[in-house]
Structure 1
Amino acid sequence: MSSEETEVVVVGAGQAGVAMSEHLGAHGVPHVVLERHRIAERWRSERWDSLVANGPAWHDRFPGLEFSDVHPDAFASKDQVADYFVAYAEKIGAPVRCGVEVTSVRRHAGRAGFRVETSKGAIDARFVVAATGPFQRPVIPPIVPDGAVCTQIHSSGYRNPEQLPEGAVLVVGAGSSGVQIADELRRSGRQVFLSVGPHDRPPREYRGRDFCWWLGVLGLWDAETPPQGAEHVTIAVSGARGGHTVDFRDLAADGIQLVGLTMSYDDGVLRFAPDLATNIALGDAQYLALLQAADAYVKRNGLDLPEEPEAHVLGPDPECVTEPRLELDLAEAGVTSIVWATGFSADYSWLQVDAFDENGRPEQRRGVSTEPGVYFLGLPWLSRRGSSFIWGVWHDARYVSDHIVTQRGYLAYGSGQRPLAAPVTGKN
């Protein structure tokens, strides 16, 4: 059966796929980027209406293009972020093919490369980059059975308060998504319960600088491994309403009922772990540690940044923390909806190669797979703390691209041929 041929197939045209295309194009490597929907589709159709980026526009972007319609210190809306990646793909002349779903990738038998089967035909490629990122399959823990409440949805399916039936709402998960959704629901007049697990709680801004800046100058974005046990700890920070520091005391003062980690369900009653105070205290400790590190940096470098002693003062714990609720009768509390802000899992069922461990996780180092010719991009902690962020994935893509270029050189040796160059588009 005949098929198209190219050097590299990049699967996914979100931030990772667009970044990968830029670096491959700069090296003259022939490639295609396959996207089953639209560029940056998840920003458009799998996020709630009021979502904004959690980093300021000066930081959460690629080096080659600024946001044209967002102040550098403001936070882009989800549609502005999606439009940004469309504009970036056009700027670099990325060979993106939308509406093409990759159904399988298998290594050729007896020769180099891979057969990439798609909804629009087959492609033979020497290299494959899985740039689908970590947010592929919404995860809802199997705790509350169907029918126990009117509505159970994942945060990726939540759009706005009007979408939910009348009544109280339980939001499970206190990372950025859970906190912002809970806050929006409360401001709409709903009674809200928020299940709070372990989290990292940085300041939105301190001494006139955004926390993204502090993590940068303190070298924390470049941390290569997460603290033990913190690989999947969420970050509670918000760009909503101009950006603000998340403080669970403030959420409680606004009427949100805080509870611990959601553990089990039985006969209409949810049970929570007695860990609420501990989770909040650990988040506070990380918050204060960052402030102290920032103060030390200012002093060490003689910077003229305004002092903020009040930022170090934490208010008293609310009653819902000191006397935590361990059970919630859903009907008695009037809870008609549960929003599960409990993250995602990866789905690599289409990638049928020897590149995964016994738990289905990619075996890779800095995106270079244990399966020669296969690469991963856009995963948390791929090379550093910032790997799954917009700017971080751009730098990871450069490393992966350089690795591909080096391998192409080895493969060309002795063949009498130079590696093929990509056609000139005039847009790079």
Structure 2
Amino acid sequence: MSHHNVIVVGGGQAGLSASYYLQQRDINHLVLESRTMTHTWREQRWDSFTLVTPNWQCALPGAPYQGAEPHGFMKKNEVIAYLDGFIAKVRPPVREGVTVRRLAARAEGGYQVMTSAGEFSADQVIVATGGYHTPIIPRFAERLPPSILQLQSAQYRNPQSLPDGPVLVVGSGQSGAQIAEDLHLAGRRVHLAVGEAPRCARFYRGRDVVAWLADMGYYAMGVDRHPLREGVRDNTNHYVTGRDGGRDIDLRVFAMQGMQLHGQLDDLEGGTLRFAPNLAANLDNADAVYNRINASIDKYIQERGISAPPGSVYQPVWRPSEERTSLPVEGLAAVIWCIGFRPDFTWIDLPVFNGRGQPSHVRGVTATRGLYFLGLPWLYTWGSGRFSGVARDAEYLVDRIAAVRSGALN
């Protein structure tokens, strides 16, 4: 059995960030990755994928963005190149292709880590597997005809890979809205089941909205100071895109151009899909968030006397004349499920979870000595699960690990 001061479970951006700071502290550790490092970026993104945050927010430890377009949006191949550079800089002590099957406490202290490659032990453990593990697909999907191709968002690659015919995209969060746009721009007939995801402007009053929000301190705000507190972790990400230099995604414009919009998908009855009559409400609510964000920027500009182009209020360019609450499945070529993921921490045999199966922690530190989580959405700030904020979280946890090792903390 191999023993280490620290075992990091997960070789994505979070686990590698932890390795970077553990090496800075000269702490013996091992990274265990079930597949290959940063594989989700390589294997679970569609061909036309771009970041929705500007490149200057790419700030992995020791590897800030240094390209020629800090205000641009890296495409998939550019993201992979950026990550390859990060891996080369970190040079982590990693075992790829090793799946952790059980994490439990050892009677003599520390942790037992049982894997597909045997048993390991560690004094402390960082769980850096993220929070997106099991695709959410409703059970009634099992009753769709086998002639209809079903994909989850992580499996989608491009319009050409789908069979001919209409495509139903279920979910209007970041992935759903962008995949629907990808299909729409390729001339495919698209139905989109619109959920409760909010949206935001790409550019407002002369700048990227992300730049305004950064100046306003939003991305430095800890979850303990957010108005929703830990409830913010349940929020759906705003839909917007970095495609073609960045722009808004306005589903109403897509509808004017022929995309068929429906409310939330509820059920399958016989050969008919049933949708809730909430399309108009969901579009209105998304626009309300859009306008509230812009209004907060207006207030910031006014209070500081900043010179900027005039503000505006979004007015709907299209409204549904009726709620389309049914759609025959006959003739559909494919359904793409874009309604998110559930976390799967069933392999962790330790009392660190709340009643919803989520880890209980304060800034990644659990009540169980020496066990930490890293890379979760809103672990501490908006950027905790992203390139922009994971370094701060990783450094914080490694400082904590070093203090526990030295006996400064229990």
Q: TM range, normalised to the smaller chain?
A: over 0.9
More divergent stretch after superposition (213-222 vs 276-285): 213-222
Q: Which runs of 5+ in 1 are unaligned?
A: 414-428
Alignment correspondent of 1:316: 317
User: Is 1:145–2:145 an aligned residue pair?
Assistant: no
Q: Within 5 Å, give how 1:9-408 maps onto structure 2.
A: 9-62=7-60, 64-69=62-67, 71-109=69-107, 111-148=108-145, 149-221=147-219, 222=221, 224=223, 225=226, 227=228, 231-309=234-312, 312-318=313-319, 321-331=320-330, 334-408=331-405
More divergent stretch after superposition (350-359 vs 134-143): 350-359
Deviation of 1:147 after TM superposition, in Å, equals 4.0
More divergent stretch after superposition (214-223 vs 186-195): 214-223
| Amino acid in structure 1 at the alignment position of 2:57 | H
Percent identical pairs in the alignment equals 37
Any idea what SS the aligned residue of 1:200 has?
coil
Q: For the structure 1 residues 173 and 275, does the alpha-carbon distance in structure 2 shift closer, same or farther, using more than 3 Å as the test?
A: same
Check conservation: 1:174, 1:234, Cα contact below 8 A. Answer: no
- For each residue in 1:230-285, what CA deviation from the matched residue of structure 2 results, as whole angstroms up to 9, or x when unmatched? 62323211112221111121121222111111111101111111111111111111
| TM superposition score normalised by structure 2 | 0.92
More divergent stretch after superposition (370-379 vs 82-91): 82-91
Check conservation: 2:5, 2:122, Cα contact below 8 A. Answer: yes
Q: For the structure 1 residues 145 and 36, does the alpha-carbon distance in structure 2 shift closer, same or farther, using more than 3 Å as the test?
A: closer
Cα distance in 1 for residues equivalent to 2:34 and 2:18: 17
Q: Which runs of 5+ in 2 are unaligned?
A: none
Cα distance in 2 for residues equivalent to 1:363 and 1:327: 41
| Amino acid in structure 2 at the alignment position of 1:219 | G
Cα distance in 2 for residues equivalent to 1:33 and 1:259: 44
| TM superposition score normalised by structure 1 | 0.89
Q: For the structure 1 residues 255 and 412, does the alpha-carbon distance in structure 2 shift closer, same or farther, using more than 3 Å as the test?
A: closer
Q: For the structure 1 residues 198 and 147, does the alpha-carbon distance in structure 2 shift closer, same or farther, using more than 3 Å as the test?
A: closer
Q: For the structure 1 residues 42 and 124, does the alpha-carbon distance in structure 2 shift closer, same or farther, using more than 3 Å as the test?
A: same
| Amino acid in structure 1 at the alignment position of 2:295 | Q
Deviation of 1:120 after TM superposition, in Å, equals 2.9
Deviation of 1:223 after TM superposition, in Å, equals 5.1
Cα distance in 1 for residues equivalent to 2:314 and 2:34: 49
Cα distance in 2 for residues equivalent to 1:358 and 1:306: 48
- For each residue in 1:326-377, what CA deviation from the matched residue of structure 2 results, as whole angstroms up to 9, or x when unmatched? 111121xx32211000111112232222222333221212111232211111
**Two-structure CA RMSD over aligned residues (Å):** 2.1
* Count of residue pairs brought into register by the alignment: 404
Cα distance in 1 for residues equivalent to 2:311 and 2:342: 39
Cα distance in 2 for residues equivalent to 1:367 and 1:351: 15
Deviation of 1:146 after TM superposition, in Å, equals 4.0
Task: Please list every run of at least 4 consecutive aligned residues from structure 1 whose deviation after the TM superposition is greater than 4 angstroms.
Answer: none
| Amino acid in structure 1 at the alignment position of 2:130 | G
Cα distance in 2 for residues equivalent to 1:134 and 1:242: 29
Check conservation: 2:403, 2:409, Cα contact below 8 A. Answer: no
| Amino acid in structure 1 at the alignment position of 2:155 | G
- For each residue in 1:184-217, what CA deviation from the matched residue of structure 2 results, as whole angstroms up to 9, or x when unmatched? 1112221101111111211111122222222222
More divergent stretch after superposition (138-147 vs 160-169): 138-147
Deviation of 1:30 after TM superposition, in Å, equals 1.5
Check conservation: 1:39, 1:82, Cα contact below 8 A. Answer: no
Check conservation: 1:387, 1:393, Cα contact below 8 A. Answer: yes
Cα distance in 2 for residues equivalent to 1:175 and 1:408: 42
Deviation of 1:143 after TM superposition, in Å, equals 2.8
| Amino acid in structure 1 at the alignment position of 2:323 | P
Check conservation: 1:59, 1:212, Cα contact below 8 A. Answer: no
Cα distance in 2 for residues equivalent to 1:147 and 1:193: 16
Cα distance in 1 for residues equivalent to 2:322 and 2:109: 63
Check conservation: 2:375, 2:384, Cα contact below 8 A. Answer: yes
Cα distance in 2 for residues equivalent to 1:411 and 1:137: 38
Any idea what SS the aligned residue of 2:290 has?
helix
